[in-house]
């Protein structure tokens, strides 16, 4: 899809990846609807863009049913007549922690934001999003490779991948594509100090947000059904599908380091 003059909804717009995506989409000529929970941060982002008058903001917690309905109502009736061409379900969170040490509510929240919200936002727009239209769901390498300290996040992102694949097939021929992009570790505030230190200790590469933004635009423009960012992660995803024991063996060697950083983590929820 050519992004020129298209209206693109971007959730998680004020985060590290979201801001970089917003800037690049604007450069491609898109008009944006920026979504996150905090109005002031959204306004600041809109004002920082080159054509602020072309973009709208909507503050909403996408895990809250009523706020999600208000957002959908705004997207359907509160903008100009052009309608919505693209939705990027990018809002997400995770907590690097052992499952046994987490509260049930933090587990529920992680699934609500990473999995339920994209599904329900998509469902709410299916009958009226423009055709051709694109829904792009942002997953994670961790959705394809189960990793200690991230069991709930892995489950949710894995669900988003399968949801995207299934719905894209379900909508075949309808004019709506459901695409999926899985970044690997990226330099944003999502990764707290303990995670960043662990990644350094394990030699895990971290991408800049600009790398992810370029892939977001590529996936939409070329309508790529699913894409994983980065080597060797791409390869590990395939190996994990074919011979998961090989990946388990390799992760077992990292186990002591992972547990050390989980105990050192500074953020508790």
Ligand X SMILES: NC(=O)c1ccc[n+]([C@@H]2O[C@H](COP(=O)([O-])OP(=O)(O)OC[C@H]3O[C@@H](n4cnc5c(N)ncnc54)[C@H](OP(=O)(O)O)[C@@H]3O)[C@@H](O)[C@H]2O)c1
Q: Could you list the active site residues?
A: 153
Q: CB neighbours of 219 closer than 8 A, spacing ≥ 6?
A: 136, 179, 181, 227
| Residue 73 or 131 having the CB closest to ligand X | 73
By the rule CB under 6 A, 240 interacts with ligand X: no
Choose which of 22, 185, 215, 258 interacts with ligand X (CB under 6 A).
185
By the rule CB under 6 A, 17 interacts with ligand X: yes
At its nearest, how many Å lie between ligand X and the CB of residue 143?
8
Q: Nearest-CA neighbor of 149 among 91, 187, 202?
A: 202
By the rule CB under 6 A, 266 interacts with ligand X: no
Strand ranges for the chain from DSSP E: 7-11, 31-36, 56-59, 86-89, 133-138, 176-182, 226-228
Q: Nearest-CA neighbor of 118 among 180, 201, 52?
A: 180
Choose which of 7, 63, 97, 158 interacts with ligand X (CB under 6 A).
63
At its nearest, how many Å lie between ligand X and the CB of residue 170?
23
By the rule CB under 6 A, 186 interacts with ligand X: yes
CA distance 112 to 120: 10
By the rule CB under 6 A, 91 interacts with ligand X: yes
At its nearest, how many Å lie between ligand X and the CB of residue 73?
16
Q: CB neighbours of 251 closer than 8 A, spacing ≥ 6?
A: 147, 148
CA distance 93 to 190: 7
Choose which of 27, 29, 38, 69 interacts with ligand X (CB under 6 A).
38
Q: Where does this chain bind ligand X (CB under 6 A)?
A: 11-18, 36-38, 41, 61-63, 90-93, 113, 138, 140, 183, 185-186, 188-191
């Amino acid at each position: 899809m050519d992004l020129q003059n298209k209206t693109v909804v971007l959730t998680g717009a004020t985060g590290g990846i979201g801001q970089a995506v917003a800037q690049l989409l604007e450069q491609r000529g898109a008009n944006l609807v920026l979504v996150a929970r905090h109005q002031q941060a959204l306004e600041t982002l809109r004002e920082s863009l080159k054509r602020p008058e072309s973009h709208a903001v909507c503050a909403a917690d996408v895990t809250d049913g009523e706020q999600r309905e208000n957002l959908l109502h705004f997207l359907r009736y509160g903008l100009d007549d052009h309608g919505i061409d693209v939705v990027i379900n990018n809002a997400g969170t995770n907590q690097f922690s052992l499952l046994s040490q987490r509260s049930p509510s933090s587990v529920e929240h992680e699934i609500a934001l990473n999995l339920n919200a994209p599904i329900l936002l998509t469902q709410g727009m299916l009958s009226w999003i423009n055709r051709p239209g694109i829904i792009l769901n942002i997953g994670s390498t961790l959705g394809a490779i189960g990793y200690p300290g991230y069991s709930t996040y892995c489950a949710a992102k894995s669900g988003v991948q399968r949801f995207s694949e299934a719905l894209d097939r379900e909508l075949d021929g309808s004019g709506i594509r459901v695409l999926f992009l899985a970044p690997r570790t990226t330099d944003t505030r999502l990764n707290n100090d303990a995670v960043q230190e662990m990644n350094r200790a394990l030699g895990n590469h971290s991408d800049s947000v600009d790398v992810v933004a370029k892939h977001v635009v590529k996936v939409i423009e070329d309508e790529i059904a699913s894409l994983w960012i980065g080597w060797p992660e791409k390869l590990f995803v395939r190996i994990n599908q074919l011979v998961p024991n090989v990946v388990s063996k390799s992760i077992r060697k990292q186990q002591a380091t992972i547990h050390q950083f989980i105990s050192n983590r500074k953020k508790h929820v």
